[in-house]
A = this chain, B = another copy of it.
């Protein structure tokens, strides 16, 4: 994984200066970088760190005086985060998926395994499942009957792909992620309290016995190309149709996606976010950490939902929203400004009340 500075510059399309033959074997924060590391110092605030560390080469901000910083070589990053991606890709040690198919794996004779696929100890591949070429499958993974896994997919330890689910190319399933749990869909013979509340938006309702009867999930989960699902995250199957995740969508750890959800392409869903059953999410939607999206609603293309927001109603395309309940970002920032001084506002109203309606109390 070692690279010369000149190689890295060419690979990343960046300018470099100094000794292009210098070899770096790792990346490091400036203060902790040894002489074999590329110090990641993409803004002037890292200059002090560089002085503390022992880097001979660094990724710097454009125009940085690399010689004054005591370096033997430098790369220059006009877009630091993009350069970071390039460096991490170049230096990634990757994971050990073994070679070929481990003899302890249990593969149904009717399954088809693509050329170059690697399958680890104790993995289980069900009947008629199809594993794409060069897929890498870690120990303790299970792939259900009739499931399809695309080429170059990675399933980390304990990842689950349920029966009949179809997964695109280059999918990454983090450890213990689950695709294809049953939908959470139940019904009572005569109607439930929850249905009454939804119909009337009122808490006044008749209490009655209710036994939940399961609605089996006939659908599966269908996932496009280049999708990632985080550790301990879960996507449920659909009832009649499939739950669908569009190509390019990235889902973080400990997230949940309910049955029938239709999520578009190139979305990003951050840690602990959840999308309830039958919600439809457009393309390029960003759900920040801990966001909740209500069931059966629609979130348009390019919507950005700020951290920990709760989305109860449809959101038009392109909007940026925040809060519980979520409102337009600007509205929410105003609401929060007033909220912080709400006790003062209440005291002010009490004084006005006393001045305008003396002796009438807080009315």
A270 to chain B: which residues have CB within 8 Å? Answer: 184, 276
Which of A15-23, A67-75, A117-125 contacts the other chain? A117-125
Chain A positions near chain B (C-beta within 8 angstroms): 26-29, 32, 40, 79, 81-82, 84-85, 88-89, 91-93, 95-96, 102, 104, 106, 120-122, 124, 126-127, 138-140, 142, 144-145, 156-158, 160, 162-164, 172, 174-176, 178, 180-182, 184, 186-187, 189-194, 197, 201-203, 205, 207, 209-218, 228, 230-234, 236, 239-241, 248, 250, 252-256, 258, 266, 268, 270-272, 274, 276, 284, 286, 288-290, 292, 294-295, 301-302, 304, 306-308, 310, 312, 317-321, 324-325, 327-331, 333-340, 342-349, 351-353, 355-357, 362-363
Tell whether, in the assembled complex, residue A181 and residue B88 are in contact, meaning their CB atoms are under 8 Å apart: no
Tell whether, in the assembled complex, residue A276 and residue B258 are in contact, meaning their CB atoms are under 8 Å apart: no
Give the shortest distance, in Å, between A295 (CB) and chain B (any CB).
7
Tell whether, in the assembled complex, residue A319 and residue B203 are in contact, meaning their CB atoms are under 8 Å apart: yes
A276 to chain B: which residues have CB within 8 Å? Answer: 270-271, 289, 307
Tell whether, in the assembled complex, residue A250 and residue B212 are in contact, meaning their CB atoms are under 8 Å apart: yes
Tell whether, in the assembled complex, residue A339 and residue B342 are in contact, meaning their CB atoms are under 8 Å apart: yes
Tell whether, in the assembled complex, residue A362 and residue B338 are in contact, meaning their CB atoms are under 8 Å apart: no
Q: Determine how many copies of this chain the complex contains.
A: 3
Known: A320-B203, A344-B363. A85 touches B213 (CB 8 A): yes
Give the shortest distance, in Å, between A187 (CB) and chain B (any CB).
4
Give 8 new A-B contacts, CB below 8 A, not counting A106-B122, A272-B272: A29-B240, A85-B215, A122-B122, A184-B253, A203-B328, A258-B271, A349-B349, A355-B357
Choose one: B205, B218, B331; the contact of A26 (CB below 8 Å). Answer: B218
Known: A122-B122, A178-B231, A234-B231. A248 touches B212 (CB 8 A): yes
A81 to chain B: which residues have CB within 8 Å? Answer: 187, 215
A214 to chain B: which residues have CB within 8 Å? Answer: 85, 89, 228
**What is the bound-complex CA distance between A213 and B28, given in angstroms?**
21
Closest chain B residue to A38, Cβ basis: B240
**What is the bound-complex CA distance between A338 and B84, given in angstroms?**
46
Known: A284-B210, A363-B347. A160 touches B175 (CB 8 A): yes
